[in-house]
Amino acid sequence: MRAVIVDDEPLVAEQIDRMLAGAGVAVLGCCANPHEALGMARALQPDVLFLDIEMPELNGLEIAERLYADKLDMEVVFITAHNQYAIDAFRVNALDYLLKPVMEEDLRRSLERVAKRRQHRTGAADGGEQRTVAVELFGQFALYLDGSAEPVRWVTSKCAELLAYMLLQPWEKEVSKWDLFEALWSSQNEEKAGINLRSTVSRINKTLRDGGSALALASVKNGYRLVLPEEELGVDAVELELFVLDAVEPGPDNLAHIEQHVQRCSRPFLQAFDGAWCEPCRKQYRQYFLHLGKKLLSYYDRTDTEPLKTLLLAELLIEHDPYDEALRMSALKLHHRISGVQRAAAYYEGYAKLLRAELGTLPGGTLTAFIRDLTE
């Protein structure tokens, strides 16, 4: 990975330079002048630009906007002493922002996000046919090679589970064998778990190799890491995560893609696996799903999308968060709009009954006031 640092504080730039070098990142240049920074970024075209926001004459946000207007293929990570700039940073499509003083753990997280986003993009445009690996972690685990309609068949369920686990870790980072023992073979002693881990890795690699893919698990000193293929690698969970972390907003250009992704990610996450490691992942990706789904619902509201289509989305989200009163209010208003007062009242009573039975409570005041105004 190649980086350029732009910061008018020399000590900050030196610190980041040192930490990047320690992480194996090639620093192509450092710059303190914001005007010179534009030329340097355009000339060197790094993978990632670490950019100070608060600089005289031309601030980092303006620099980023100009570079994005040039359609340069680089990620931007902002550096700032104030988190008040976070929202502005994401409005210009920044990948991340780091608060001063920059900590190694925060920098490592940013580098992982850079690697993940760039790997997830379409692979090298060499004029030849692009090979693909597509992975579904929502619903039944499935991996498809080169657009095949049939998923890869695994020798054992542990092969699928281990690969799923590795795909959810920071890509190309070593995962210790002890973490793998704990996640997948916690009931076995270390010797037996080690034997099972090695045999499972061997089976995964053979299956992928036989399918013509360069995706693999490589042994390192104390564990394994994911070896990413040259072909395009697409993982539904990673794409969902990037939608959320990159603050993507639904619009005419991406609406169909977001709609498809919300539907695809409405299925149970890691459905085929029951290990304890799955539960924190399920909670995290459920939140990602709800976040993107609510953005889509808000877009439907703003654009006056056909009411039944909007209601179907609201009900889909309610399946995943049945006690969210904002979602319930959306559904209540849509039932009233589509079917009238009687249907809205019946929907409200059904929700009230659920709350009494499950939580011993009643709907919130906003819902109650809305239905009272309708029925009085």
Tens-digit pLDDT profile for residues 292-311: 999 999 999 999 999 999 99
Q: Identify whether 304 is part of a domain.
A: no
Mark whether 146 and 211 lie in a shared domain: yes
Which residues constitute the domain of residue 371?
A: 317-376
pLDDT at position 259 over 50: yes
Q: In this structure, what CATH number is given to the domain that contains residue 49?
A: 3.40.50.2300
Q: Identify whether 106 is part of a domain.
A: yes
- pLDDT at res. 87: 44
Choice between 172 and 199, residue whose per-residue pLDDT is larger: 199
Mark whether 26 and 85 lie in a shared domain: yes
Q: Identify whether 275 is part of a domain.
A: no
Of 69, 96, 120, the residue that ends a domain is 120
Work out how many domains the chain is built from and give that number.
Answer: 3
Mark whether 204 and 97 lie in a shared domain: no
Of 234, 251, 273, the residue that ends a domain is 234
- pLDDT at res. 121: 55
Mark whether 19 and 70 lie in a shared domain: yes
Mark whether 148 and 219 lie in a shared domain: yes
Residue 125 has which token pair?
Answer: 């445009």
Choice between 140 and 130, residue whose per-residue pLDDT is larger: 140
DSSP per residue, 236-250: HHHHHHHHHHTT---
Q: Identify whether 298 is part of a domain.
A: no
Q: Which of 151, 171, 278, 268 is nearest to 228 (CA)?
A: 171
Mark whether 137 and 114 lie in a shared domain: no
Q: Identify whether 301 is part of a domain.
A: no
Place of tokens 């369920």: 157
Q: Identify whether 286 is part of a domain.
A: no
Sheet holding 75-80, edge to edge: 26-31, 2-6, 48-52, 75-80, 96-99
Render pLDDT for 312-363 as a digit per residue (tens, 0 to 9). 999 999 999 999 999 999 999 999 999 999 999 999 999 999 999 999 999 9
Q: Which of 265, 286, 282 is nearest to 273 (CA)?
A: 282
Mark whether 84 and 36 lie in a shared domain: yes
Render pLDDT for 113-135 as a digit per residue (tens, 0 to 9). 888 777 665 444 444 455 789 99
Residue 71 has which token pair?
Answer: 């359609």
Mark whether 16 and 81 lie in a shared domain: yes
Mark whether 38 and 111 lie in a shared domain: yes
